[in-house]
């Protein structure tokens, strides 16, 4: 149950429903309903009543735990569960401790004084009697209210909700509520460069040749050019999964890049150990360098990059010959290669990736329509992989997907090098 | 009511709920609930019963209109509304016409023959008796089932649902169902640099001093350091909103950056018209340049940038004196200023932004803990704004929020310059 007028009205996309759905799936807990409502107690209560009436064992709520008067989830859940709301003095003290350093960042006229803030946040230390407190990650604590159904109350911001869910799942109350779950194995295979219809064909074939195929619960998902195949099965159907994996390997060896759920970003980070990489980006304008810097410890392999959005920048910062741009166009394989060579040289790197393309909506031509993107991966030993792709979607899709293609080209180059 | 196991389990993000929420808001129709369930008739029916029980005038469903056996929405809605399902022969013929050219694209072994496809799609021409057909945009027609509540049944793919919603809203049945809608005004104010509790304090004050305060429906949302305040009111409460706006301006003039809903990215893009900007990024590693390149037409103002992740890159590509780094550390105001100066020079730009910080999880010191980020905005005329902030959250939060701080510093510099 996701609460929050800003989510209901679409101003914020709900990230908690999908994330919790994934966690429940991993646990083997069946999810029946996701509901979203605004900050009105009447609607919150109606949804609680509906879900409880459906006979669920567990209700998870997100949102409505802030200090403002329109945050009403705890009160409403308490009333629904027939419990009083009581002040947890120890919790109030913990919240005050959390607020002190945060307050230190604000000063000047208009900034609230500490007493005001503390009073506003006393509200957050009021919890349903007999419930278990989940310590705050931000300033909002969660609670687990035991009962039938058990209700887990979590804050709305995903970076607070996610660690607090892991705490919630460890409480005896939640363990009791999900005791009836089925234990499943779950395996994930990832592929790149195979259309979904090709996989559908293989799965039809697998169904014919694998005896217990129907005991495998397979879901496939195409996202940004990558195919994710998630298979869930009860432990005694493991042989069927092994056979499925054999079929996938036999037919799509080249497309499979991960059999253990690892993502391309993890694989590339591992392959970059001991290397020194630089980027040269045009249409992606830094998104690839930004993505390479995502993992903690990226400074071990990331030298840096040049965003050469303007042609002058390609010449001045990467040493791309303007004549090359004049002859082939800024979006061309020779320019991508010159950009990669320039990045190698300028950063004294042993690995470089260059991207130049037309993200749209303008700039397309009949020869080079929007979505045309040229890539070059170059290594210090002279190895070079150059590719041109035509990517679907709008400006944001093309830019995002370009970084994914670059990651796969990097992986291919580094794992065969 | 969004149906579909792939949406419930989070493998596909629901885009229909938020989109329809926006359309309803525009119409002044109040949205009470969004519900999501899988393809099980039992769950679909339970949600219909819940929503009808809440006394809504209109239920909109999305999904479950495909030709396969697990697509059950129409049957379930018909049963719920107490109507038989009948074949619409004219609709069946229209679907057949639509399918012919689509079938022509598939051929070869494994392709379904036309008779099979047509039989599967006869299912899609079965509609609740007495309902109004919404012609298909793909192959799935929608229906409007009159009654209390009126039920609008739409397909799941957004590119089909969206045009069909516009048809649905034109039917007399839907117009009748939403006849009681209220005409609302909606205004959005955005702030930066004010804690949520400070706003809560101001709103409590506003409630005391503004006569019709309670006629304003205010929702506040804190996201990445920005506060969004959305106020909805009936036209005759406009005076109360003006007074609220006056209070906000009086108490938080410096924090308010938008009173008309404009986002910081739009404001910065507008301020950059006629300018030529370059970035120099360390911890954000290209995310700011990537963000500046988001709007179509960014090539009018974005020269490029340097991702100087390693100290060598700061020296070699931006001309930062290594002695400066040795003396003050790479994360320091003097280094941020030297990076900005280097970006101005290297890209022959008139505007530059530099970011250098400690995103974590490692690298923090007692003096400069994780989250310490230094910024410098420099203009060609010598104007310079330098700031150090301590940002909360994990590595991803610090990096993301750093780009937001940079956007606000840019705005501040360019709008006073």
Partners of A71 on chain B (C-beta within 8 Å) are: none
Mutate to test the interface with B, among A305, A354, A363 (most CBs of B within 10 A): A305
Which residues, in sequence order, are CB contacts of A52 under 8 Å at separation 6+? A59, A80, A149
Q: Identify the pLDDT of residue B191.
A: 97
Q: A290 vs B293: CB contact, 8 Å cut-off?
A: no
The CATH-assigned architecture of domain B2-178 is 3-Layer(aba) Sandwich (3.40)
- The torsion of the CA quartet B119, B121, B122, B123, rounded to 10 degrees, works out to 110
Nearest-CA distance B114 → chain A (Å): 19
Mutate to test the interface with A, among B296, B304, B339, B362 (most CBs of A within 10 A): B304
Partners of B37 on chain A (C-beta within 8 Å) are: 32-34
Nearest-CA distance B127 → chain A (Å): 26
Which residues, in sequence order, are CB contacts of A198 under 8 Å at separation 6+? A252
Q: B8 vs A21: CB contact, 8 Å cut-off?
A: yes
Four-way CATH pick for A185-262: 3.30.70.2860, 2.70.50.60, 3.40.50.10900, 3.40.640.10: 3.30.70.2860
Mutate to test the interface with A, among B313, B372, B405 (most CBs of A within 10 A): B313
User: What is the biggest distance separating any 2 CA atoms in chain A, rounded to whole angstroms?
Assistant: 77
Q: Identify the pLDDT of residue A108.
A: 54
Among partner residues B47, B255, B394, which is closest to A33 by beta-carbon distance? Answer: B47
Cα-trace Rg, chain B: 28
Q: B348 vs A312: CB contact, 8 Å cut-off?
A: yes
Q: B313 vs A303: CB contact, 8 Å cut-off?
A: yes
For chain A, domain boundaries: 2-178, 185-262, 265-415
In this prediction the pTM is 0.81
Q: Identify the pLDDT of residue B106.
A: 53
Q: A6 vs B50: CB contact, 8 Å cut-off?
A: no
Q: A35 vs B32: CB contact, 8 Å cut-off?
A: no
Same fold, A2-178 and A265-415: no
Q: What is the block-wise mean pLDDT of chain B (417 residues), using blocks of 10 residues? A: 90 90 89 94 96 96 82 92 94 84 57 64 89 90 95 93 96 94 90 89 94 92 88 94 97 96 96 98 98 96 97 96 97 98 98 97 94 98 96 93 97 86
Strands of the sheet containing A58-62, edge to edge, are: A132-134, A142-145, A150-154, A58-62, A2-3, A33-37, B33-37, B2-3, B58-62, B150-154, B142-145, B132-134
Q: Identify the pLDDT of residue A112.
A: 62
Domain B265-415 has CATH 3.90.950.20: yes
- The question of ipTM being above 0.95 is answered as no
**Rounded (5°) CA angle B172-B176-B182:** 130
Among partner residues A33, A285, A304, which is closest to B290 by beta-carbon distance? Answer: A285
Q: A38 vs B32: CB contact, 8 Å cut-off?
A: yes
Is A311 in contact with B312 (CB distance < 8 Å)? no
Nearest-CA distance B315 → chain A (Å): 11
In B, minimum Cα distance to A36 occurs at B34
Q: What is the block-wise mean pLDDT of chain A (417 residues), using blocks of 10 residues? A: 92 92 90 95 96 97 85 93 94 85 61 69 89 91 95 94 96 94 89 84 92 88 84 93 97 95 96 98 98 96 97 96 97 98 98 97 94 97 96 91 97 86
Say how many Å lie between the first and final Cα of chain A, rounded: 50
């Amino acid at each position: 149950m996701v609460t929050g007028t800003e989510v209901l009205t679409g101003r914020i996309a709900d990230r908690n429903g999908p994330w919790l759905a994934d966690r429940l799936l991993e646990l083997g807990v069946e999810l029946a309903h996701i509901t979203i409502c605004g900050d009105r107690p009447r609607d919150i209560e109606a949804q609680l009543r509906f879900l409880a009436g459906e006979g669920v064992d567990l209700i998870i709520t997100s949102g409505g735990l802030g200090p403002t008067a329109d945050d009403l989830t705890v009160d409403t859940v308490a009333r629904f569960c027939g419990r009083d709301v009581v002040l947890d003095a120890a919790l109030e003290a913990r919240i005050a401790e959390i607020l002190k350093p945060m307050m230190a960042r604000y000063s000047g006229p208009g900034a609230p004084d500490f007493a005001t803030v503390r009073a506003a946040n006393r509200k957050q230390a009021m919890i349903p009697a007999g419930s278990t407190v989940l310590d705050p990650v931000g300033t909002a604590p969660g609670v687990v209210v035991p009962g039938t159904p058990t209700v887990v109350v979590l804050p709305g911001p995903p970076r607070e909700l996610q660690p607090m869910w892991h705490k919630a799942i460890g409480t005896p109350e939640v363990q009791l509520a999900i005791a009836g779950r089925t234990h499943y194995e779950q395996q994930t295979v990832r592929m790149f460069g195979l259309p979904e219809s090709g996989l559908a064909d293989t799965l039809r074939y697998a169904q014919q040749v694998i005896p217990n195929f129907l005991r495998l619960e397979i879901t496939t998902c195409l996202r940004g050019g990558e195919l994710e195949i998630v298979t869930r099965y009860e432990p005694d159907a493991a042989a069927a999964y092994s056979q499925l994996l054999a079929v996938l390997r036999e037919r799509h060896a080249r497309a499979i890049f991960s059999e253990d759920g690892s993502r391309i970003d993890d694989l590339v980070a591992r392959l970059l150990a001991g290397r020194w990489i630089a980027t040269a980006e045009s249409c992606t304008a830094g998104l690839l360098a930004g993505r390479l810097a995502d993992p903690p410890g990226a400074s071990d392999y990331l030298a840096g990059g040049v965003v050469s959005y303007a042609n002058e920048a390609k010449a001045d910062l990467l040493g791309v010959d303007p004549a090359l741009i004049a002859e082939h166009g800024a979006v061309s394989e020779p320019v991508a290669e010159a950009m990669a060579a320039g990045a190698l040289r300028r950063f004294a790197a042993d690995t470089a990736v260059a991207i130049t393309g037309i993200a749209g909506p303008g700039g397309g031509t009949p020869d080079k329509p929007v979505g045309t993107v040229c890539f070059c991966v170059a290594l210090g030993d002279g190895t070079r992989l150059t590719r041109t792709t035509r990517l679907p979607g709008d400006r944001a899709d093309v830019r995002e997907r370009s970084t994914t293609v670059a990651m796969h080209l990097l992986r291919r180059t580094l794992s065969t090098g």
